[in-house]
Amino acid sequence: MKLKPLWLTTSAQSKKSKQKDHFLIAIAAGINQKKSVDAIMKKFLPENFTAVLFHYDGNVNGWNDLPWSKSVIHIAASNQTKWWFAKRFLHPAVVSMYQYIFLWDEDLEVDNFNPRRYLNIVRSEGLEISQPGLDSKLSEIHHRITVRKNTGTFHRRVSRANKRCLREGPPCSGWVEGMAPVFSKYAWQCVWHLIQGDRTKNIGVVDSEFIVHRGVQTLGGSTITKDGIRGKNAQSLRQKAAQVQKSRGRDPGLDMRTKIRRKSRSELRDFQKRWARAAREDRTWVDPFAHSRRKRRNRNPQ
């Protein structure tokens, strides 16, 4: 996915392709988050990253004034999600030259993040799927495992002192969230095809390189998190969400996310049916979490 001038000679191309390591960062971006995306690009592009911007608002020309804009790939489709873009434009065969793929949201602050140091940690610890830890004071937190720990370089699970996390398995271990995942090329081959494997062994959160997730709801709606936790900057996030909806000609009081959640639940039910059918038909399939589920049922009989 490297951009190449039409007049570049074959010998010049071979010289430019001698670098062994290639990395990709892809961001679903709207023009309202131009400032934060600009900061991210200034961190990543000097580290030999190829960059792709997925423009969910269709506005490509609004980025032309940034000096790096012509060196990245722009793909536009109105009102589509990051995962919609990734499924259609990041096929494993297309991105096979990249050792690591960063599939990030647009509302991340990277003041305390260094891509090169992050990759060194991921490689040394053998993490196939990872994410940077979140600054708990400034970020909107959905799951405790994503919070940066001040001790150590990375972590794989929530402390057992947490009563909700006495067991193994997601979201207490082997879990990263969808706002800033990083995949190795081999993990991406599985993720793209929705192949489920051992989800806990090579998954972790890197603490020494951390970010801030501002939690801007580009689709509108509340900033209350899944488990009831409010971000420290919840009030400003609500105001930002209202501004985004107003700029799109919507009533700020209308929660468009309700319809999206209904559709997501419907798609999840369809997926669960397909998964159950596939498990029945595959005689070699072994459920890695069957034992832990039986233990929970025995502990909590109906």
pLDDT digits (tens, 9 = 90+) for 213-270: 666 666 544 444 444 444 445 555 556 556 655 655 555 555 666 777 787 788 888 8
Buried-exposed string 151-182: b where 16+ CB fall within 10 A, e elsewhere? eeebbbbbeeeeeebeeebebbbbbbbebbbb
Mean pLDDT for all residues in the chain: 77
Rounded to 10 degrees, what is the CA torsion of 213, 216, 219, 222? 100
Q: Do the Cβ atoms of 81 and 28 come closer than 8 Å? A: yes
Question: Tell me, what's the pLDDT at 10?
Answer: 58
Question: Tell me, what's the pLDDT at 241?
Answer: 57
Identify which of 195, 175, 176, 173 has the alpha carbon closest to the alpha carbon of residue 186. Answer: 195
Q: Name the H helices within the chain.
A: 10-16, 34-44, 82-89, 115-125, 185-192, 234-247, 257-281, 290-299
Q: Is 148 a residue whose pLDDT tops 70? A: yes
More confident residue, 233 or 157: 157
88-102, 126-140, 143-157: range with highest mean pLDDT: 88-102
| Domains observed in the chain | 23-194 (3.90.550)
The Cα 203–Cα 79 span in angstroms is 31
Q: Count other Cβ atoms within 10 Å, centred on residue 40.
A: 24
Question: Tell me, what's the pLDDT at 278?
Answer: 87
40-95 pLDDT, tens digit per residue, is 999 999 998 999 999 999 999 999 999 999 999 999 999 888 888 999 999 999 99
Q: Count other Cβ atoms within 10 Å, centred on residue 224.
A: 13
Distinct helix (H) and strand (E) counts, the chain: 8, 9
Length, in residues, of the chain: 302
More confident residue, 154 or 232: 154
Question: Tell me, what's the pLDDT at 184?
Answer: 94
Counting beta carbons within 10 angstroms of the beta carbon of residue 190, is it exposed (0 to 12), middle (13 to 18) or buried (19 or more)?
Answer: middle
Q: 208 - beta bridge partners? A: none
Rounded to 10 degrees, what is the CA torsion of 229, 223, 102, 260? 120
Max Cα separation, the chain? 71
Two structure tokens written together for 215: 């939690």
Question: Tell me, what's the pLDDT at 262?
Answer: 80
165-180 pLDDT, tens digit per residue, is 656 666 666 678 788 8
Identify which of 78, 93, 68, 70 has the alpha carbon closest to the alpha carbon of residue 28. Answer: 78
Question: Tell me, what's the pLDDT at 56?
Answer: 93
The Cα 37–Cα 28 span in angstroms is 10
Question: Tell me, what's the pLDDT at 295?
Answer: 67
